Structure 1
Amino acid sequence: SLIPEGNENIDQDVTLPEIVTVTSPNNSYSGVPQYSPISTETLSKQKKNSNTKDEPMTGSEYKIGTTENLTDSTSIDKSSDLFNQAMEYKTSGENEKAIMNLNQVIKLNSKLKPQAMWEKANILFTLNKITEAKKVLKDLSEIDSPFQKQAKDKLLAL
């Protein structure tokens, strides 16, 4: 095999560069170059990446690629974008738009949900929608998060 010891996991269908014996001009030295595991892996990747012909995905590869972890990362990005946009709306006084975005964040992402609920409650207080704000704070006070104590304290103060 052309693959040096310790590299058995590298695909066998990859052809490494031709190995030639190197001889010095006066024949005092000769040897065969050895490839380190890193060099072998790099050469293997280069060979695979140099193939300009794209191979079509099989149905199962496509399904895995479209469903595995992609929706999670997309929803996190979308939640962050929606939350940031909501804060911009809040800053510019467009509170109804801010609430719409925060409602979407609450539905999409559990990591941003408590913060979105806190911001929503504060906006509702600003809009004098006290009953709705209290409901959001009550729900928030039941979620284990950094905003739980703040929600409880604010409810007690009302």
Structure 2
Amino acid sequence: MEAACASLLRVATIVAHVNGGLVVEVAAQEGCEQCARGRGCGVGLLARQRSRQLVVALPRAASVDTDQAVEQCYPLGQQVTISLPRTSVTLLAFFVYAFPLMAALLLAGLVPLVSTALWLAPLVFFATLIMCAISMKVLLRERSERFRPRLVC
């Protein structure tokens, strides 16, 4: 029960098999108005449109040797549960939104101590936002597996 609270869970349908994983389709829940709009409860992150296809790796405990065995264990059309840890969502939101904004505000606030040019503070603010966005994209690319939904056994 505690593990379920620590993760965002979603039911998905298997639509294809790929090397080492499954392609699943996550549909927006009809009963949840916020999910249908793709925002609000956090599970909407898994399905921004009405439905979205994701590649989910097979769990190591459920690893099977051949593609034929994967198709037998996980047939097309089968419903599976995927999860995304809440801490991953929070951490990703911090790196994408909060950190760049805090850095830009801090550096733009320090500009008047260095220069009296009126145009320099906005320039530093927007340049910092752009540099943080590029840096986060490069740094998080190698760690993207941490923010990928996982198949629940």
TM-score category of the 2 structures, normalised to the smaller one = under 0.3
Greater strand percent: which structure? 2
TM-score, scaled relative to structure 2: 0.23
Structure with larger Rg: 1
Greater relative CO (CA pairs within 8 A, separation 6+): 2
Greater helix percent: which structure? 1
